[in-house]
Amino acid sequence: MRKFEACVKNVGIENGVFLRLDLQTRWNSTFIMLESELKYKRAFSSFQMEYQHYKYCPSSSEWERGKKMCEFLRPFYDVTNLISGSTYPISNIYFTQVWNVECLLIDNANNEDQIIKDMAIKMKEKFDKYWSEYSVVLAVKAILDPRLKFPLLECCFNRVDPTTCQSKLDVVRNKLFELFNAYAKNSSSSSSSSQCQIEPPNISSETGEGLSSFTIGKALMDINSQIVSQLGKSQLELYLEEAKLEFKFNKDLDVLKYWKDHSGRFPDLSLMAFDILSIPITTVASESAFSIDSRVLNKYRSCLLPEKVQALICTRN
């Protein structure tokens, strides 16, 4: 052990990098093991050159395969950590992450390395079992990101299967407008009820007393509603027709803050955006997702229909 540590020191491997073992009950441990061992490649080679009796150093082809395997597994490791981590990001990014995984599996189904090819094919079968049709909720989340909108969906769907691209877009568009109309209808009912019960404040013509921020805000909303009415377009239609924000200039955009800042222009749409973007993609922590040493789902959860599971997640129950 000390001899190997001396080789590690001689080749200049930085402190804090340790070798990891593979665990059968934790599938992410394979990636972690490969990643750590690749960093020790020079140390293993140096140890073999110095001690001829050492016969377990990987060959050049094995190192190359390990490198390719690590490159193949890294995106899955990163996506799972991103989605199931303890600090959950805003859910507008989930659609692109799922799409990235599918594209990776499709591309590697023709990998020149037979082992990676077989892995990709089996993983694609498992992927299709759960994600053969992208969740409409994930697509709506992406649309509500002003940097993405429908152009992103069209690009993603077309990349996977050009023959079904338009039909998928139509399904998402219909569901999006159906959902927005429900919010707009509910908002109209609430506004009518409020107008019947609330007396307008008494405004003094000389001092302007009684002119509250509520009155000013309501006046601005009325003006916005009149403009929308004149154009004959809903808030959703206006939002979709606006040019999307350039991603390279808005990489750190806070999407929730964007909708808060634009709630005056899109009162109903912003309310819908807050609700949709707050829906988590998973209720299982990464520790459970990566480990099979105990059951991830209990007996009750495992027998639920997909529609019921989605409803429970959406209602945060």
Average pLDDT over residues 237-257: 90
Backbone angles phi, psi at 26, to 5 degrees: -130, 105
**pLDDT on residue 239:** 95
25 pLDDT above the threshold of 70: no
pLDDT in tens, 30-43: 888 888 888 888 88
- Binned at pLDDT 50, 70 and 90, residue 261 comes out as very high
Amino acid, res. 62 = E
CA–CA distance, 275 with 313 (Å, rounded to integer): 12
Q: Which residue has the higher pLDDT, 220 or 199?
A: 220
Backbone angles phi, psi at 245, to 5 degrees: -70, 145
- Binned at pLDDT 50, 70 and 90, residue 208 comes out as very low
**pLDDT on residue 205:** 44
pLDDT in tens, 54-113: 777 888 888 898 899 999 999 888 887 777 665 555 667 788 888 989 999 999 999 999
**pLDDT on residue 220:** 56
CA–CA distance, 271 with 236 (Å, rounded to integer): 12
In sequence order, what are the residues at sequence separation of 6 or more whose Cβ sits closer than 8 angstroms to the Cβ of residue 129? none
Q: What is the mean pLDDT of the chain?
A: 77
> Which of 296, 274, 15 lies closest to 144, judged by CA?
274
Average pLDDT over residues 202-208: 45
